[in-house]
Amino acid sequence: MANLKVIGTGSYLPEKIIDNSYFEDKLLKRYDVNGEVVGKKRITSDGIYGVTGIRERREAMENEWPSDLGYKAVVRALDDASVSADSLVGIIVSTISEKSNFPSAACKIQERLGIKECVSYDIAAACAGFPLALGLANSSFNSNKGNYAVVGSECLRRISDKTDINDTLFGDGAGAVILTPTEESIGFLGGYIRTSPLNGMLNWIFRDKNDYLKMPEGERVMKAAIRGMLDTAHTIEERLGLGEVGCDVYIPHQANGRILDRVASKVEKKGGKVYRNIENFGNMSSATIPVALDFALKEGFIEEGNKVMLTAVGAGLVASAAAIQF
């Protein structure tokens, strides 16, 4: 059965680096779901790293938006794949932070690439968007054959409240993959997504009345993220007959160092290894997985023949996963 395989990856990180010292002199606040302040705290660089696993993150320039970052990531991915932009028949962008979503970030990228006709659209599943976008591309190519660009791109620092203690988590960046049809038994193996908005979960991660990103239920989000990423990955592995052995490599959404530690403690028991780069880039929502995938491939962390599990949890709450073999 034909499916899509990855033939190129690329990423773009803005030049401006925000290290933890940026936050040291600030009195950062904790907010509840109603936007009321429930606590204040000054935090050190080491304290931020100890809680989040992050030392620095990137910040886009004032005139840069996800479509700009995403375009640069796609250009690099096309170069890595040694294919032209004209070969693309589909561009799918996962983003929640584009300045204007009509026209979509995908359409803006298509225009800058100079592609006359293409199926281009955005999805908004927050941190869980990239595995979902891969599945959508794989579902589309039978009716629209050719190469696809799948992109995760975010400017979270643009929508992060600088008085909120959670501002220490967020960074900007973009990653992209180029996919092409194959008859080989590699490439996209399967995907899974589930959404659980009940029991107040819609208020765990959201945009407030000032359009700022808020996460008042951090501890609950952390527990749900660990459970969601492991459960969705396991669901796919069971379907693929990998329930006992698992995948070779896991690339979880780089949300928080403690989350990655817990996920790693589970999958490493089955012989899998977890890639992480949260220390240098922070939480970039839907951009974290494609950026991490690009770095993992270029660093040789992923080897030929490896089965790789991409898994994420985001606002909603939405949990998603996708398995790919290289």
Q: Which positions are annotated as active-site residues? A: 127, 253, 283
Distance, CA of 79 to CA of 169 (rounded, Å): 31
Tell me how many degrees the CA angle 171-130-181 measures, rounded to the nearest 5: 140
Instruction: Assess contact for 94 and 130: CB atoms under 8 A.
Output: yes
Distance of CA 256 to the CA centre of its chain: 13
Q: Where are the alpha helices (DSSP H) in 240-276?
A: 257-267
The two tokens of residue 302 are 């992923």
The closest of 290, 294, 323, 288 to 306, measured between CA atoms, is 323
Distance, CA of 241 to CA of 132 (rounded, Å): 21
The two tokens of residue 142 are 């039978």
Q: Is the dihedral of CA 118, 124, 130, 132 positive or negative?
A: negative
Tell me how many degrees the CA angle 320-99-254 measures, rounded to the nearest 5: 35
Distance, CA of 206 to CA of 209 (rounded, Å): 10
Phi, psi of 234 (to 5 degrees): -65, -35
End-to-end CA distance of the chain: 16
Q: Which residues contact 235 (CB under 8 A, 6 or more apart)?
A: 192, 321
The two tokens of residue 118 are 């293409």
Give the CA distances from residue 200 to residues 149, 204, 216, 242, in Å, rounded to whole numbers and listed in that order.
35, 7, 12, 34
Distance, CA of 179 to CA of 188 (rounded, Å): 9
